[in-house]
Amino acid sequence: MTSHRQTPVPSARPGISMSVKGQPLSMGQGFEALTFRQDRFGGLMDPLVMVDHFVMTEPTFGAHPHAGLSAVSVLFEDSEGLFHNRDSLGNDFTIAPGDLYWLKAGRGAVHDETPLPGARIHALQVFVNLPAARKADAPASLHVPAGQMPVIEGDGYRVRVVLGACNGTEGAVSPALPMTILDIGLTGGGSFTHHVPASQAAWLLAVRGDAEVHTGDTGTLIRQGTALAVHGGNEALPIRIQSVAGAQVAMLQGAPVREPFVHQGPFVMSTLDEIEAVKAAHAAGELGALE
């Protein structure tokens, strides 16, 4: 049985975490990842529970349930081939390089994502917490093709607004809690500034290359495969990202939930009793099935 983790209410005070190196995770012959968990970021990663930065080339997980969270797949543009997505909401289609798929599991859904033969999927898998009052919501989903994502370009930067808004540019809106996801590309010597609204937190990952993250007078280096989290408190926070040699940085931004939760495998609920209840519901077929 997967061990569970009880998480205290994260702090609301502003701050910036240390740079955190992803922990290697390998499954089978076709899945390699660096994984990041919220308990390594001093409470500043909220509303994110975990992020896996992965490459998948073969079927790995099979059909599996989710509940109490949103499971979000962000494919990078250098992915090759297609990702076959199926879930108990009736979705059955392929996700292409650069796309986003957001599954708000709510009270429960069954999901499967599999690379088609010959594919190499380079992506993020993100678990986003839902507040206790939303954990019993009906499941919902959103697919955003890469061609529908706004792109902000300037001297030394190219930014895909995968979801949400950036500096006045509006992208798609999540079916759960509001969130902004940016895929930031910097050339050598390039820099880009994003303004995080008051009371929101941001999490930044160096996908490729090294970058410096500046918040006010503080500058922190994130090397490839490392991440940091930052919360500006009750004031809007400009974040400037720059790179000497060029880099790709993923930024995920949202309002912290600030509630205790239990994370066990594909479930994020408020208590262990709720985890056991949703596992029983899945065993009874109440979370649906793939067609």
Tokens of 160: 């895909």
Residue 111, marked binder: yes
Is residue 95 within 8 A of residue 145, CB to CB? The reply is no
Kindly report the three-state secondary structure assignment for every residue of the chain: CCCCEEECCCCCCCEECCCEECEEEEECCCEEEEEEEHHHCCCCCCCEEEEEEEEECCCCCCCEEEECEEEEEEECCCCECCEEEEECCCCEEEECCCCEEEEECCCCEEEEEEECCCCEEEEEEEEEECCHHHCCCCCEEEEECHHHCCEEEECCEEEEEEECEECCEECCCCCCCCEEEEEEEECCCCEEEEEECCCCEEEEEEEECCEEEEECCEEEEECCCEEEEEECCCCCEEEEEECCCCEEEEEEEECCCCCCEEEECCEEECCHHHHHHHHHHHHCCCCCCCC
Residue 66 tokens read as: 């989710």
Please say whether the beta carbons of 242 and 211 come within 8 A. yes
Asked if residue 66 belongs to a known ligand binding site, the reply is yes
User: Which residues are known binding-site members for Fe cation?
Assistant: 64, 66, 111, 113
User: Which residues are known binding-site members?
Assistant: 64, 66, 111, 113
